Amino acid sequence: MNTELNKKNAIAFYKMAYEGNPTKAVELYVGETYIQHNPMVADGSQAFIDYFDRMQKEFPVKSIDFVRSVAEGDLVALHTHQVWPDNDEYITMDFFRCDENGKIIEHWDSIQQIPKTSNNNNTMYK
C-alpha cells in the first residue's frame, strides 16, 4: 500500500471534483466500485458526478484549501477549509479508502459550518 500515492490521489480527486470536473476526477481516481457514506449522495460514480455537477451549477464560485492530510494503510483523511458564496465557510473532514492501486473506492465525511463567533481565538483549520 503506497500511502503517499493514496494521499496525492485523494487530494487531486477532491480538488478536481470540487472545482467543477467530477467526470474526469472519477475517470482518473475512482476504482471499480464507489461506496458513499454521505447521506446526501447515492452510491456509485455517476451519483458522485451528478452531485458535484449540480454543486458547480448552483455554486460556481467557491474555494477549497487542503489544510492537512493523513494516510495510514488504505485510508486517507483530508481536513479542508471551504469558502462558499456570501463568505459562508465550512470545515470538512473527509476519509477515503483506496484499493491496492491507489484508486478511491469508499468515502465518509463530516461537514461543519464555521460560526461567526467563538469562545477562543483558535481557527477550526489552522
pLDDT digits (tens, 9 = 90+) for 14-26: 999 999 999 999 9
pLDDT digits (tens, 9 = 90+) for 50-65: 999 999 999 999 999 9
Residue type, 17: A
Report how many helices (DSSP H) and strands (DSSP E) the chain contains, helices first: 3, 5
Q: What backbone phi and psi angles, to 5 degrees, belong to 44?
A: 100, 155
pLDDT value, residue 82: 96
pLDDT value, residue 29: 98
Q: What backbone phi and psi angles, to 5 degrees, belong to 99?
A: -85, -175
Round to whole Å and give the CA distance between 102 and 9. Answer: 7
Task: Please state, for a pLDDT cut of 70, what percent of the chain lies above it.
Answer: 100
Residue entry with cell 482518473: 28
Q: How far is CA 70 from the centre of its chain?
A: 13
